[in-house]
């Protein structure tokens, strides 16, 4: 059964069409990558799914429930978490607090102002557990803004998985990392998204082809292909429209 | 410029001097009589407060300290307390006065502050018998202070707003040319008092006079009075009454003058502290002021000499409130009479005291409500025959119309609660 | 009634254009640097006081030239040595800095010039009625104020649309980061814009001082109204600032000119009220009484229903 | 366990200071100063819930303070005229509820956005209410305000609240409780999310929290505590005027919180104490105190962006590393000339402020009219400034070496 469905999704900024009729089904437990040249609308598509922007037309459903045009927090509560292209954490809170904030809603604290965080044993154990998973236990009390870049990205991933979401969307999770950092990051992503649905945008093709079960190719706001890595690799259409331009760029 | 600095500067010398005095002369070793002066000494209203402080200081020094002090050789010491014209700060300064055992407080500026001080003192005196404090109000004119909210511990040395309005409307009523009056004022209690009573009094005295406008504007918030003046012009008024003070007064007068409207403006506070200088030639014969003091010519030689002596010492200030001297003189007279500095004794002695001021006028402190009864005068802003000008500008006030003390009396609703001793 | 309307319009125009002179500089500063400069009206006050002091020695006209230059210079220095330093600590710190600056300038003015109103007079040359309508004079000086404001608006408009600097500034208003990436010296532009903005406020002060009274409270009276205009007009929009200025100038002027009150409204529906009622203050409320708070009401409404302002295109 | 113990000790110490202060300074003036501080502390802390913890810059916080105060004084009147009869001890709570009510209403539209929009709405509402308070005389009493008497309620254990000291203990109790609750609020999910929304509202939305709702909750809590402060104000002064809800009060609380240090819970407490002291003590010695206050404020913004609390916290590492002693000499070397510089500047300001008078300092008569005085002062000022600048690098170096931490970060919990 598909967990996330996009049906004829359009997005215009003013007169300019950015996304033109995207249809996409993502299966539960799948690792799905979205690729495409710069300006193809990958991030916009992410923003549409996660609720940052309203869609102009079309529907998006998560587990069969329509979520288009819901505010981001509603979508997040329904089990969709995401990271950002630009590091997006709570810089003045400690690393531990960052993770704990990520956990709060799932663990049912809501907007409570009568529970003391320090007393919530389960919550704190869970937070430490995630810190262990992303390898930041040593830095738990550091202000998040002072972490090294790769660590901030790991933290962001940690916040995303803390919410317990079943769909995790990662926007260029290894961009700007050195090769060895990227390898660690990929290993981390594999580890923490085990058993969950992963959707990612990534430019690094070796990573994409290494991690993804299926790949969608987005060009000028249109989905020109959606298939397994090997089929995508051999697709002429994709070669023409996308891979060719990449080589030209580089 | 300010007494506090002076105080600081003479601190060490005063210390040495007082040591010397203690050793040398037993007659001088007596404690000074300390009197608090509580008014704004910093902030936007500081100039009025500082001017009052100088007048009180001068009165104490010139009239008493230079002549050997009071009560057999005690000096008067004026202690400045800066209330920043804020009711809150007034309370704090009041507590300072209590802890420094200052039992007499001179205060004048802002009716809001005077009311706050009045209720604070009433409460304090009720709760702390034996430590009473006396309020000498030399300038706040809100009628309620000697009516509904009158207090045994409060004495007012200025005529209150209704007394002044009574005389002002008499003057207006005598002028048959006045047919239409426009009233404009700040939207607060004094403005309301002026408006309500002007209408009532004019209706009674000259029913034919039409009130063509009765406008309130927010206090201190109006950028430009021209829109109001437009209405005044359109109403065809031939006189304006306003209770405005400070910048609101100046701006209003300026706008009226700029519009070319040549009608008299009847005011309460349109002189001194920069206002006279700012209005200058434009205000001549237009600005009328009702006050308890007389303008030029000053009524007595003694008064003139006193003014000159003050001017010699404070060239940049004017003797704007001679009633400060009168108040001090009467308080001292009460002290001398009872040989006591206790507020209760002073208050009892002040009640119904009759006193001749340096202007040669006999005034009366009515015991019923602690309101002074004195002559009132209507003066006009001009540069003709001005012997004592204001703001060193060459312009000043010349008295046009005077009413003797007994004619200024108005009834009071005061039911005074007198403490028992 | 007609005469009141005509003069209310003229008065509204004078106030509106004066406000615009302040708002134009503030808009430039706000749009580019993201700083709502609380001290902007203080520069206006400084303009009036500088000009007053200069007029004592040299007369009105040299003051009109020199005072704004001095204010502009001061503004530039404050940007260079104050604001830029605070910039690294974020917008709140900047806002708080200008807030403190306004406080300090107020105090400094009282320190140097004293708390009294100053006798700052308009020049004798303009001391005649421009025209008399329905028995009320419209002074030449007010005409001069309108003239100067219009000139400044035209000058500013031409500068922004025709000159190279202007185009860079315009670009910086809408896309501050891009301009920096293009290699322009943004700090220098900021300093210049801050200086020019302050100087504009200074001009407003110089010409407003004689009519609106030169006293230490003059900044407070105008201070927050100017932000209101900038916010209502919309971020990054000079035209918006002009419209908002005129709107507020006219709104206040008409409100004062009218005699309407809540009582009239109630009478319209045939309702009567007693004077002793608990809500008497509400029944007796009149439009002129609340004229000065109308801009704030407008501000709140605009921010609730259209946070970008009338003509703005950028949300905060 | 040790952490909890230390924390409890801090709170017990706080309570002890609150209770014992008037034992050491018992003049009427001192007690009135403490009352002022107590009110200011609650007010400033409530403000910091907005700005420091929630990232909402408000220019109209006095609204909740003032409304609480006005309600409290009306409650006093009701007690006086025997409409209702209860102990005045509960009045701050009542005032707090009014603050909460106002915040519930105003917050419902103003917390949609933080940043400039929020700041401008708060400014607009502040101005609106301040102006309305002068128009609606029957409730706000015009510029004279409303006056009540706190002694008509039933006595509490025989205490009738005649004296300032009795009010002080009542205020101290409320301050302690309010401080404790405001601290505890920071430790709850809503309080922590307020920090998160302050740091990054967008991210907060993507972890399931509506930034607006989070702000709204902080905003209401802040209004509640501001109302409590207003209630204490009414009990202390026994009258409330429009100045409690005007822009000056709003500005002052901003100054307090900022000078004290926004980032730290204790910051606003420090700021409230410092500003209250300056306000009451400095104004007794010089007319220029507002000028000095302005200068102090700007210097703080420029050089101590984290306020006094931040400045103190800068030395935490050095303290933990037991290297604080190494800082004493460099500090003295800079502070002494800096003090001389400031003292000289103050002297010059005072000298130019007075007319044809003189000030005597250290047994020297300094005349404002003599040029040698001015030359001398300028010389001292410039020399001391030069010395300060010369010693500054050494201080910085010493500070850095004292704060240098070896590889592993020290634990900050």
* Every domain of chain B and the residues it spans: 31-158+301-373, 162-291+375-407
Q: What mean pLDDT is predicted for residues D250-273?
A: 91
Q: Which residues of D touch B100 (CB under 8 A)?
A: 29
| Rounded distance between C-alpha atoms, residue D213 and residue A111, angstroms | 8
Top-confidence residue, B420 or A201: A201
| Rounded distance between C-alpha atoms, residue C307 and residue C303, angstroms | 4
Q: Please tell me the class of the D19-274 domain.
A: mainly alpha
Taking a C-beta distance cutoff of 8 angstroms, is the pair D41, D219 a contact?
Answer: no
Residue with tokens 């060490």: B12
Count of residues for chain D?
A: 413
- The two three-digit tokens of residue C52, written as one number: 């007053």
Give chains near D: 3+ CB pairs under 8 A.
Answer: A, B, C
Q: Which residues of C touch D271 (CB under 8 A)?
A: none
What are the angstrom distances between the C-alpha of B216 and each of B182, B187, B222?
Answer: 11, 5, 11
- The two three-digit tokens of residue C88, written as one number: 């690294």
- The two three-digit tokens of residue B264, written as one number: 């008299």
| Rounded distance between C-alpha atoms, residue A108 and residue D232, angstroms | 37
Confidence of residue B25 (pLDDT cuts 50, 70, 90): very low
- The two three-digit tokens of residue C135, written as one number: 């028995």
What is the distance in angstroms between the Cα of B92 and the nearest Cα belonging to chain D? 7
pLDDT tens, position by position, D98-136: 999 999 999 998 898 888 788 888 988 998 898 888 778
Closest-CA residue of B relative to D27 is B99
Q: How many CB atoms lie within 10 A of CB C175?
A: 14
Residue with tokens 């308080």: B331
What is the distance in angstroms between the Cα of C115 and the nearest Cα belonging to chain D? 12
What is the per-residue pLDDT for D183?
Answer: 95
Q: What mean pLDDT is predicted for residues B318-342?
A: 92
| Rounded distance between C-alpha atoms, residue B158 and residue A203, angstroms | 86
What is the per-residue pLDDT for D179?
Answer: 95
| Rounded distance between C-alpha atoms, residue A193 and residue A196, angstroms | 5
Cα–Cα nearest to D111, from D10, D269, D12, D223: D223
Taking a C-beta distance cutoff of 8 angstroms, is the pair D90, D230 a contact?
Answer: no
**What is the end-to-end Cα distance of chain C in Å, rounded?**
43
- D36 in reach of chain B (CB within 8 A): yes
Give chains near B: 3+ CB pairs under 8 A.
Answer: C, D
CA atoms within 13 A on the CB side of A184: 13
Across the interface, of D144, D162, D280, the residue whose CB is closest to B115 is D144
Q: Domain of A59?
A: 2-249
Chains D and C lie in contact, requiring 3 or more CB pairs less than 8 Å apart = yes
Q: Which residues of D touch A163 (CB under 8 A)?
A: 207-208
Confidence of residue C165 (pLDDT cuts 50, 70, 90): confident
- C222 in reach of chain B (CB within 8 A): yes
What is the per-residue pLDDT for B8?
Answer: 45
What is the per-residue pLDDT for C202?
Answer: 94
Q: How many CB atoms lie within 10 A of CB A10?
A: 16
Q: Enter the pTM of the model.
A: 0.89
Confidence of residue C297 (pLDDT cuts 50, 70, 90): confident
Closest-CA residue of D relative to A137 is D411
Confidence of residue D63 (pLDDT cuts 50, 70, 90): very high
Residue B5 pLDDT > 60: no
- B224 in reach of chain C (CB within 8 A): yes
Would the CB atoms of C136 and B227 count as touching at under 8 Å? no
* Every domain of chain D and the residues it spans: 19-274, 316-403
What is the per-residue pLDDT for C259?
Answer: 77
Q: How far is CA D85 from the centre of its chain?
A: 33
CATH superfamily of the B31-158+301-373 domain = Response regulator (3.40.50.2300)
- Successive 10-residue mean pLDDT values, chain A, 250 residues: 88 86 90 87 90 90 90 92 87 92 90 86 92 90 88 91 89 86 89 89 86 89 87 81 50
Q: Which residues of B touch C134 (CB under 8 A)?
A: 233-234
Q: Using a CB cutoff of 8 Å and minimum separation of 24, what contacts does C312-315 make?
A: C312/C233, C312/C234, C312/C235, C312/C236, C312/C237, C312/C240, C313/C174, C313/C234, C313/C235, C313/C236, C313/C237, C314/C31, C314/C174, C314/C235, C314/C236, C315/C235, C315/D113, C315/D117
Chains B and D lie in contact, requiring 3 or more CB pairs less than 8 Å apart = yes
Taking a C-beta distance cutoff of 8 angstroms, is the pair D225, D178 a contact?
Answer: yes
The tally of domains found in chain A comes to 1
pLDDT tens, position by position, B188-211: 778 888 999 999 999 999 999 999
pLDDT tens, position by position, B236-262: 899 999 999 888 888 898 888 888 888
What is the per-residue pLDDT for A74?
Answer: 92
CATH of the domain at A134: 3.40.50.300
Dihedral angle, C-alpha C50, C53, C58, C60, nearest 10 °: 60
What is the distance in angstroms between the Cα of D310 and the nearest Cα belonging to chain B? 30
Closest-CA residue of D relative to A103 is D207
What is the distance in angstroms between the Cα of B210 and the nearest Cα belonging to chain C? 17
What is the per-residue pLDDT for C313?
Answer: 63
Would the CB atoms of B4 and D284 count as touching at under 8 Å? yes
Would the CB atoms of B1 and D288 count as touching at under 8 Å? no
| Rounded distance between C-alpha atoms, residue B315 and residue C177, angstroms | 59
Confidence of residue C275 (pLDDT cuts 50, 70, 90): low
pLDDT tens, position by position, D331-368: 888 888 888 888 888 888 887 777 656 666 766 777 76
Chain A from 218 to 247: CB within 8 A of any D CB: none
Would the CB atoms of A101 and D204 count as touching at under 8 Å? yes
Confidence of residue C314 (pLDDT cuts 50, 70, 90): low
DSSP assigned state of A174? T
| Rounded distance between C-alpha atoms, residue D267 and residue D255, angstroms | 11
Q: Which residues contact B50 (CB under 8 A, 6 or more apart)?
A: B1, B2, B41
Residue C316 pLDDT > 60: no
Cβ burial A168-178 (10 Å sphere, 16+ → b, else e): bbbbbbbeebe
Q: What mean pLDDT is predicted for residues D265-282?
A: 89
What is the per-residue pLDDT for A203?
Answer: 83
pLDDT tens, position by position, C101-147: 998 998 899 888 887 778 888 887 787 877 777 777 788 888 899 99
**Helices vs strands, H then E, count in chain A:** 10, 10
Q: What mean pLDDT is predicted for residues D17-24?
A: 87
CATH superfamily of the B162-291+375-407 domain = Response regulator (3.40.50.2300)
Residue with tokens 């709204």: D216
Would the CB atoms of B215 and C11 count as touching at under 8 Å? no
| Rounded distance between C-alpha atoms, residue B263 and residue D298, angstroms | 49
| Rounded distance between C-alpha atoms, residue B353 and residue B373, angstroms | 11
| Rounded distance between C-alpha atoms, residue D73 and residue C143, angstroms | 51
Strand partners, B288: B266, B380
| Rounded distance between C-alpha atoms, residue B146 and residue B370, angstroms | 7
- B154 in reach of chain C (CB within 8 A): no
Q: Which residues of D touch B10 (CB under 8 A)?
A: 360
- D128 in reach of chain B (CB within 8 A): no
Would the CB atoms of B258 and C4 count as touching at under 8 Å? no
What is the distance in angstroms between the Cα of D44 and the nearest Cα belonging to chain A? 20
Size of interface B-C (CB pairs under 8 A): 117
Give chains near C: 3+ CB pairs under 8 A.
Answer: B, D
What is the per-residue pLDDT for D38?
Answer: 95
What is the distance in angstroms between the Cα of D44 and the nearest Cα belonging to chain C? 16
Size of interface A-D (CB pairs under 8 A): 108
Q: How many CB atoms lie within 10 A of CB B338?
A: 17
Taking a C-beta distance cutoff of 8 angstroms, is the pair D336, D287 a contact?
Answer: no
């Amino acid at each position: 059964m598909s967990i996330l469905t996009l049906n004829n999704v359009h997005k215009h900024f003013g007169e300019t069409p950015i996304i033109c009729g995207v249809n996409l089904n993502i299966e539960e437990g799948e690792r799905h990558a979205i690729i495409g040249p710069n300006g193809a609308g990958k991030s916009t598509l992410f923003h549409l799914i996660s609720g940052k922007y309203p869609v102009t037309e079309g529907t998006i459903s998560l587990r069969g429930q329509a979520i288009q045009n819901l505010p981001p927090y509603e979508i997040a509560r329904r089990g969709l978490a995401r990271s950002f292209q630009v590091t997006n954490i709570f810089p003045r809170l400690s690393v531990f607090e960052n993770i704990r904030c990520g956990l709060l809603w799932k663990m049912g604290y809501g907007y409570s102002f009568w529970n003391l965080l320090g007393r919530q044993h389960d919550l704190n154990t869970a937070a430490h557990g995630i810190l262990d998973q992303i390898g930041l236990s040593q830095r738990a009390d550091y202000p998040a803004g002072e972490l090294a870049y790769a660590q901030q990205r790991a933290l962001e991933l940690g916040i995303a998985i803390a919410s317990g979401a079943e769909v995790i969307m990662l926007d260029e999770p290894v961009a700007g990392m050195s090769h060895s950092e990227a390898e660690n990051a990929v290993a981390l992503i594999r580890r923490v998204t085990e058993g969950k649905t992963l959707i990612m945008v990534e430019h690094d093709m070796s990573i994409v082809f290494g991690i993804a079960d299926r790949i969608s190719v987005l060009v000028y706001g249109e989905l020109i292909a959606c298939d397994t890595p090997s089929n995508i690799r051999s697709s002429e259409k994709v070669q023409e429209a996308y891979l060719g331009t990449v080589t030209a760029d580089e | 410029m300010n007494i506090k600095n002076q105080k600081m500067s003479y601190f060490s010398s005063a210390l040495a001097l007082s040591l010397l005095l203690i050793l040398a002369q037993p007659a001088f070793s007596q404690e000074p009589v300390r009197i608090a002066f509580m008014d704004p000494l910093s902030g936007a209203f500081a100039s009025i407060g500082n001017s009052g402080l100088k007048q009180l200081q001068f009165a104490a020094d010139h009239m008493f300290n230079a002549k050997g002090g009071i009560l057999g050789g005690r000096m008067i010491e004026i202690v400045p307390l800066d209330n920043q014209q804020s009711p809150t700060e007034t309370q704090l300064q009041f507590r300072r006065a209590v802890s420094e055992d200052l039992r007499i407080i001179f205060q004048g500026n802002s009716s809001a502050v005077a009311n706050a001080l009045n209720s604070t003192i009433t409460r304090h005196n009720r709760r702390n018998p034996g430590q009473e404090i006396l309020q000498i109000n030399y300038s706040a004119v809100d009628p309620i202070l000697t009516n509904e909210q009158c207090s045994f511990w409060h004495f007012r040395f200025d005529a209150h707003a209704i007394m002044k309005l009574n005389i002002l409307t008499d003057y207006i009523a005598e002028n048959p040319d006045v047919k239409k009056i426009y009233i404009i004022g700040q939207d607060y209690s004094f403005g309301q008092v002026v408006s309500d009573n002007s209408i009532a009094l004019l209706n009674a005295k000259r029913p034919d006079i039409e009130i063509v406008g009765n406008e309130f504007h927010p206090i201190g918030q109006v950028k430009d009075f021209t829109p109001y003046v437009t209405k005044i012009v359109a109403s065809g008024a031939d006189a304006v009454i306003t209770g405005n003070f400070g910048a609101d007064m100046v701006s209003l007068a300026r706008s009226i003058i700029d519009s070319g409207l040549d009608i008299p403006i009847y005011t309460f506070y349109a002189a001194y502290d920069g206002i006279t200088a700012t209005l200058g030639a434009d205000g001549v014969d237009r600005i009328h002021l009702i006050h308890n003091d007389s303008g030029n010519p000053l009524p007595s030689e003694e008064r003139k000499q006193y003014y000159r002596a003050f001017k010699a010492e404070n060239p940049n200030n004017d003797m704007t409130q001679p009633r400060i001297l009168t108040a001090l003189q009467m308080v001292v007279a009460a002290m001398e009479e009872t040989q006591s500095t206790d507020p209760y004794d002073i208050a009892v002695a002040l009640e119904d005291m009759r006193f001749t001021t340096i202007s040669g006028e006999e005034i009366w402190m009515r015991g019923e409500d602690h309101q002074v009864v004195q002559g009132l005068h209507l003066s006009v802003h001009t540069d003709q025959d001005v012997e004592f000008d204001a703001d060193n500008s060459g312009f000043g006030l010349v008295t046009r119309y005077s009413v003797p003390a007994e004619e200024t009396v108005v009834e009071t609703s005061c039911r005074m609660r007198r403490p028992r001793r | 009634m007609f005469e009141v309307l005509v003069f209310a319009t003229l008065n509204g125009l004078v106030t509106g254009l004066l406000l615009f002179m302040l708002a134009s500089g503030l808009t430039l500063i706000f749009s580019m640097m993201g700083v709502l400069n609380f001290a902007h009206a203080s520069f206006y006050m400084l303009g009036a006081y500088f000009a007053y002091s200069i007029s004592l020695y040299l007369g009105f006209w040299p003051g009109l030239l020199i005072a704004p230059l001095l204010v502009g210079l001061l503004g530039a220095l404050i940007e260079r040595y104050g604001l830029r330093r605070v910039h690294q600590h974020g917008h709140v710190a900047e806002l708080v800095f200008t807030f403190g600056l306004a406080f300090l300038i107020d105090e400094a003015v009282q320190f140097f010039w004293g708390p009294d109103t100053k006798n700052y007079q308009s020049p004798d040359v303009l001391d005649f009625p421009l025209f008399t309508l329905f028995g009320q004079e419209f002074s030449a000086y007010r005409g001069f104020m309108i003239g100067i404001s219009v000139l400044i608006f035209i000058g500013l408009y031409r500068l922004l649309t025709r000159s190279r600097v202007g185009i860079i500034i315009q670009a910086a208003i809408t896309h501050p980061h891009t301009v920096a990436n293009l290699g322009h010296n943004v700090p220098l532009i900021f300093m210049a814009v801050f200086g020019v903005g302050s100087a504009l406020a200074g001009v407003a002060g110089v010409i407003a001082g004689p009519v609106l009274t030169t006293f230490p409270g003059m900044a407070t009276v105008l201070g927050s109204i100017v932000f209101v205009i900038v916010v209502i007009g919309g971020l990054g929009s000079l035209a918006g600032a002009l419209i908002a200025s005129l709107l507020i100038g006219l709104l206040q002027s008409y409100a004062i000119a009218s005699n309407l009150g809540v009582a009239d409204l109630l009478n319209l529906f045939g309702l009567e009220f007693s004077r002793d009622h608990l809500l008497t203050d509400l029944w007796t409320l009149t439009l002129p009484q609340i004229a000065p708070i109308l801009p704030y009401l407008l501000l709140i409404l605009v921010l609730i229903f259209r946070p970008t302002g009338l003509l703005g295109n950028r949300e905060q | 366990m040790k952490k909890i113990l230390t924390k409890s000790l801090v709170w017990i110490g706080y309570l002890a200071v609150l209770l014992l202060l008037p034992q050491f300074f018992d003049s009427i003036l001192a007690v009135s100063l403490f009352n002022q501080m107590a009110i200011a502390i609650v007010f400033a802390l409530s403000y910091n819930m907005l700005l420091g913890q929630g990232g909402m810059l408000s220019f109209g916080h006095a609204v909740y303070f003032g409304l609480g105060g006005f309600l409290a004084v009306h409650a006093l009147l009701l007690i006086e005229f025997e409409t209702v009869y209860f102990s005045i001890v509960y009045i701050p709570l009542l005032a707090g509820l009014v603050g909460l009510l106002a915040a519930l209403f105003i917050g419902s539209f103003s917390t949609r956005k933080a940043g400039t929009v929020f700041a401008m709405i708060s400014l607009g509402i502040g101005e609106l209410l301040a102006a309305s308070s002068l128009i609606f005389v029957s409730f706000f009493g015009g510029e004279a305000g409303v006056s009540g008497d706190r002694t008509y309620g039933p006595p509490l254990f025989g205490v009738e609240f005649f004296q300032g000291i009795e009010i002080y203990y009542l205020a101290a109790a409320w301050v302690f409780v309010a401080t404790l609750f405001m601290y505890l609020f920071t430790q709850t999910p809503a309080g922590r999310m307020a920090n998160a929304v302050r740091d990054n509202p967008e991210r907060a939305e993507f972890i399931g929290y509506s930034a607006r709702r989070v702000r709204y909750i902080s905003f209401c809590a802040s209004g509640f505590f501001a109302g409590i402060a207003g209630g204490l104000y009414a009990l202390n002064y026994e009258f409330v005027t429009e100045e409690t809800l005007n822009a000056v009060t709003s500005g002052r609380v901003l100054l307090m919180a900022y000078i004290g240090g926004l980032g730290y819970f204790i910051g606003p407490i420090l700021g409230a104490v410092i500003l209250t002291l300056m306000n009451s003590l400095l104004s007794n010695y010089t007319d220029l105190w507002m000028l000095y206050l302005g200068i102090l404020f700007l210097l703080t913004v420029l050089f101590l962006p984290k306020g006094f609390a931040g400045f103190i916290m800068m030395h935490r590492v050095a303290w933990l590393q037991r290297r604080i002693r190494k800082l004493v000499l460099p500090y003295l070397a800079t502070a002494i000339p800096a003090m001389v510089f400031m003292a000289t500047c103050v002297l010059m300001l005072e000298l130019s402020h007075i007319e044809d008078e003189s000030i005597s300092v250290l047994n020297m008569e300094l005349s404002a009219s003599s040029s040698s005085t001015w030359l001398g002062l300028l010389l001292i000022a410039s020399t001391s400034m030069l010395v300060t600048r010369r010693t500054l690098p050494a201080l910085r170096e010493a500070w850095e070496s004292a704060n240098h931490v070896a590889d592993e970060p020290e634990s900050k919990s």
